A and B are shown apart, each in its own frame.
Chain A
Amino acid sequence: GAVVSQHPSRVICKSGTSVKIECRSLDFQATTMFWYRQFPKQSLMLMATSNEGSKATYEQGVEKDKFLINHASLTLSTLTVTSAHPEDSSFYICSAPRGSGGHNEQFFGPGTRLTVL
Chain B
Amino acid sequence: GDSVTQMEGPVTLSEEAFLTINCTYTATGYPSLFWYVQYPGEGLQLLLKATKADDKGSNKGFEATYRKETTSFHLEKGSVQVSDSAVYFCARAGANNLFFGTGTRLTVIP
Contacts and interface: CB of A to CB of B under 8 A. Distances in A.
B51 to A, nearest CB: 6
A97 B95 CA distance: 10
Interface of B: 27, 29-32, 34, 36, 42-46, 49, 51, 89, 91, 93-98, 100-103, 105
A34 B30 contact: no
A107 B93 CA distance: 12
Given A43-B89, A49-B97, A102-B95, 15 more contacts: A42-B102, A42-B103, A43-B100, A43-B101, A43-B102, A97-B96, A102-B32, A103-B51, A104-B96, A105-B32, A105-B49, A105-B93, A106-B91, A108-B36, A110-B43
Interface in A65-98: 93, 95, 97
B95 A101 contact: yes
Contact of A41 (B29, B89, B105): B105
Contacts of B29: 102
Contacts of B103: 42-43
A19 interface: no
A44 interface: yes
A103 B93 contact: yes
28 contacts: A34-B97, A42-B102, A42-B103, A43-B89, A43-B100, A43-B102, A44-B89, A46-B97, A49-B96, A49-B97, A93-B43, A95-B97, A97-B96, A97-B97, A101-B95, A102-B27, A102-B30, A102-B31, A103-B31, A103-B51, A103-B93, A105-B32, A105-B34, A105-B93, A106-B91, A106-B98, A109-B43, A110-B42
